[in-house]
A and B are shown apart, each in its own frame.
Chain A
Amino acid sequence: MTEANLDGQQASAAEESIPMTGAQMVWEAFVREGVKTVFGHPGGAILPTYDALASYEAAGKIHHVLVRHEQGAAHMADGYARATGRVGVCICTSGPAATNLVTGLATALMDSVPVVAVTGQVPTNLLGTDAFQESDVVGVTQPVTKHNYLVTDVSELPMILKEAFYIAREGRPGPVLIDICKDVQNATGEFRYDMTVDLPGFEPWPTVDMSKIQQAADLINQAERPLILAGHGIKLAGVSRELLEMVERAEIPVVTTLLGAGDIPETHPLSLGMGGMHGEAYANRAVQGCDVLIAMGMRFDDRITGSLDRFAKQAKIIHFELDKAEVGKNVVPDLPVIGNLGETLPALLSLIEQRKHPDWLAELNVWREDSGQTDIINYEVDELIPPYVIRQLWHSTKDTERGPAIIVTDVGQHQMWESQYFVHEFSGQLLTSGGLGTMGYALPAAIGAQMAHPDRLVWAVVGDGGFQMTLQELAVLKQERDLPVKIAIINNGFLGMVRQWQQLFYERRYVGTPIVAPDFVKLADAYGIPALAVRKPEDVSGAFKQALETPGPFLIDFRVKEELNVYPMVASGAAVDQMIRRPKPAVVQGFSGVEPSW
């Protein structure tokens, strides 16, 4: 597959090549790719490239954000990319710096996030000698990138840079790493950027088989109990609006994956919210009760399917997916529709008939009433519990002047409570590490999102455990002139999600899960960030108000009830409709003291 002039500018004559160093080429390519912000950390093997950044920074072309750990750089680039749909960029030195990127690259690969990472490498004559700070970065990062390069010749660098952005962005997005030997950064070569990317083995956009779309439309038009299972692909293809149109025309309810949160507004009557391990009981029942399951831009992860042997066996499954390797990997669909949702969904839409499904919806609504989900906001709570905090966060942010907030969650119980109790209104409102489940993601990713959208309200929601994995990035908030990221720590004194499993499956033996935290308010103070601790439910909304009204960053340490579990829950290996339900009476009193019945 070849494609010239990706951004549509048709070069009339060949660009004249300019002699420059490898180091300059990196920045020149970034500028041509529209990169304005990079996240990085310098060191010996990348020094020539940092030196060449000076003039680009002085000219206001590129802004470099200094991170405190390279994992943070990768997550920031990831957060930037998720918040914009553009390629996020990070840069660091060789050896330990490059290996520090690995977690961030793996996170981006699992969630299909376009990132380009540049690392310095020892000079070519030292390759393979165990030189100081040498590590086999291409080898180490191969399984966690979409593609990677080792550059040993400056004449190859311009094409490699161009290919890297192309591969990261086209088709199913993902991270690409370029490891550049130090002597290559110093060497002079010819730079131009109008060449054609020629990658015969790379087929990012498969041709759509239109007959499959007709078959899909026939199945959907005849369905009595249709259901859409929407994932990240809807956001990546930017087809939320088309999805909503189809949903309304044919009256089809929608369940989403975690990364599909907000694919249609969760305020919409046809939205059933998230399904899967901690999805709503009615959402999972809908999956197990539909007659046609229309999966769109999702990959049947085990967190959404539960036991595969018992997943939606009654339904005809249609799978709309860009990546052919995902089709049939976990669930074999009755009808695969391979291709870009940006093509297939509009084509499908034109064939979808107006329908009503009153019986099916009535059934769903009965199931929906049998849920504690809505109770949480309506009742007086006497203890500070995370679902209440999350709901108040939604209330306090939904009508601000800065538009609805972007929420970035970490990994654990608070992440699941956020997905349950926050009402996501648009696709891309929630940024979270779904596939890899990377603790420590929230703060750096929120910084990336905020750098991309300086005027938007960005909230990081994070556990006391995960926060302690990357809290050093608080310093970035200060260094970036009081970057206004707001942070809500859901502090339960435990590695909560693991503790929940120990409680349910290991007879409450809490090994390695009680966690001591510093005084987060003092910590924030040490970083020069205003903060307060909240212990009582009645102080929650005031705290959110104060956070909003305070310019710049703000941190709230919510000291929540310690031992509280996330329900509903599908235990690993169980069918998706075999849930441990929310203990009902406990909801009213803030869940206190009631354990689930098995």
Chain B
Amino acid sequence: MKHTLIAWMRDKPGVLNRVSGMLRRRNFNIDSLQVSHSETPGISRMTFVVDGNERMVDQVISQMRKVVDVTRVEDISSKPSVVRELALIRVQTNAETRSDIVQMVNIYRGEVVDVALESMVVQIVGSEDRVDSLIELLNNFGIIEMVRTGRVAVVRGMTERKHRRSTAVWRARANGYENMDEERLTTGGV
């Protein structure tokens, strides 16, 4: 099973190297890894996805905590959270395909951010599934270049589950998702 972990670390030179070196050395299976600033100055935040059983994830967390610069590690997989990925995709176009592509991008609530004669750049933000399936579609037209950020996530606010469900449903409706099953809505599947 895939676990989303978040680690906070002191923003020191080489800290990413320390963490990634440890993950490599211990032969942990990391699907994606993303680092950025956090809300606290001097503290970086890393979101990474580990593929493995509970015991392995437990090991990753314990080993991670031993890296002196890492201040906190959390497995948010079982917590309600918002999980997103961003992709920028440059896809081949011509007069015939252009409108088809724009339509698909719209259905996926992506955005066309650059248009040239023979290609356009599409941006999509969403769950990995959604990004995956748009990429699959665009592949039919020929993807020239692509970049994905990897998963980023934040835990949802502490709300009553019922309330959470209704906000999630509300949000989905507002976004034009009429028939999503509720379970997916509440686990951040949109």
Contact = CB atoms under 8 A, between A and B. Distances in A.
Q: A and B, one complex?
A: yes
B18 A328 contact: no
B20 to A, nearest CB: 10
Interface string A175-205: 0000000000000000000000001111100
A139 B17 contact: yes
Interface stretch (A140-148, A370-378, A421-429): A140-148
A138 B69 CA distance: 14
A201 B59 contact: no
A21 B132 CA distance: 58
Interface in B1-44: 9-10, 13-14, 17-18, 21-22, 25
A203 B72 CA distance: 11
B139 interface: no
**Interface range, A side:** 20 to 34
A247 to B, nearest CB: 30
B13 A199 contact: no
Given A200-B71, A328-B55, A142 B17 contact: yes
Contact of A142 (B9, B21, B58, B70): B21
A78 to B, nearest CB: 20
Contacts of B133: none
Contacts, number: 43
A201 B65 contact: yes
Given A329-B59, A332-B55, A201 B17 contact: no
Contact of A325 (B18, B63, B71, B72): B63
A297 to B, nearest CB: 17
A147 B68 contact: yes
Interface in A108-155: 138-139, 142-143, 146-147, 150
Nearest to B63: A325
Contacts of A402: none
B67 interface: yes
A324 B13 contact: no
B66 interface: yes
A201 B70 contact: yes
B66 A325 contact: yes
A167 interface: yes
Interface in B159-175: none
B68 A167 contact: yes
Contacts of A146: 68
A325 B25 CA distance: 15
Given A138-B14, A142-B17, A142-B21, A201 B63 contact: no
Contact of B68 (A202, A323, A325): A202
Contacts of B18: 142
Contacts of B22: 143
Contacts of A325: 59, 62-63, 65-66
A203 B65 contact: yes
A199 B67 CA distance: 11
Interface in A155-178: 167
A328 B70 contact: no
Interface string B47-65: 0000000010011001101
Nearest to B68: A147
Contacts of B63: 325
A332 B62 CA distance: 14
B21 A201 contact: no
Most buried by B among A139, A143, A332: A143
Contacts of B14: 138-139, 142, 150
Interface string A300-341: 000000000000000000000001110111001000000000
A107 to B, nearest CB: 17
Nearest to B25: A143
Nearest to A167: B68
A201 B9 contact: yes
A200 B59 CA distance: 21
Interface in B63-88: 63, 65-72
A332 B70 CA distance: 25
Contacts of A200: 10, 71
Question: A-B pairs with the 5 shortest C-beta distances?
Answer: A325-B62, A201-B71, A147-B68, A200-B71, A324-B62
27 contacts: A138-B14, A142-B14, A142-B17, A142-B21, A143-B25, A146-B68, A150-B13, A150-B14, A199-B68, A200-B71, A201-B9, A201-B10, A201-B67, A201-B68, A201-B70, A201-B72, A203-B65, A323-B66, A324-B65, A325-B59, A325-B62, A325-B63, A325-B65, A325-B66, A327-B62, A328-B55, A329-B59
